[in-house]
Amino acid sequence: MWRLLPLSLLLALAACGEGGARPAQIAPAPHVPVPQPPSPTALAAGVAKVQDQTGPILIAQFGKPRIDLTEGPARKLQFAGPICVLDAYLYARGRDATVTHIDTRQRDGRPIDQASCIAALSKR
């Protein structure tokens, strides 16, 4: 019986210890606005800054291209920024070669919408 007395006292003391530390209160998360996707009008306006433009106009907009490659009737201009890469393909239509196709991607190769990439490169 005396052997059980220390164990009983220990259990009694453990039961009294519940009033010690209180759980920390968690503050509510701040409101973070959800970004809205660009409207179709904004997308069209962004792509219009590049589509059907000549090489000199693109260079004036985005600066010196990272790649300027001519192969046969085609010319590829590549512009790169911290967010994305834009490839513009120019083909002769009449006197001057103009952009007929564009590709955009994030720096790591993941897709990005064309208008967002064009806007990011325009801000450089």
CATH code of the domain covering residue 69: 3.30.1450
* pLDDT of 14 above 70: no
Q: What is the pTM of this model?
A: 0.65
Which one is predicted more confidently, 124 or 100? 100
Q: How far is CA 121 from CA 14, 46, 78, in A?
A: 65, 11, 11
Q: What are phi and psi of 52, to 5 degrees?
A: 65, 15
In a domain? residue 93: yes
* pLDDT of 114 above 60: yes
In a domain? residue 63: yes
In a domain? residue 15: no
pLDDT band (50, 70, 90) for residue 25: confident
Q: How far is CA 12 from CA 8, 16, 19, 30, 37, in A?
A: 6, 7, 14, 43, 62
In a domain? residue 8: no
Q: How many folded domains does the chain comprise?
A: 1
pLDDT reported for residue 95: 84
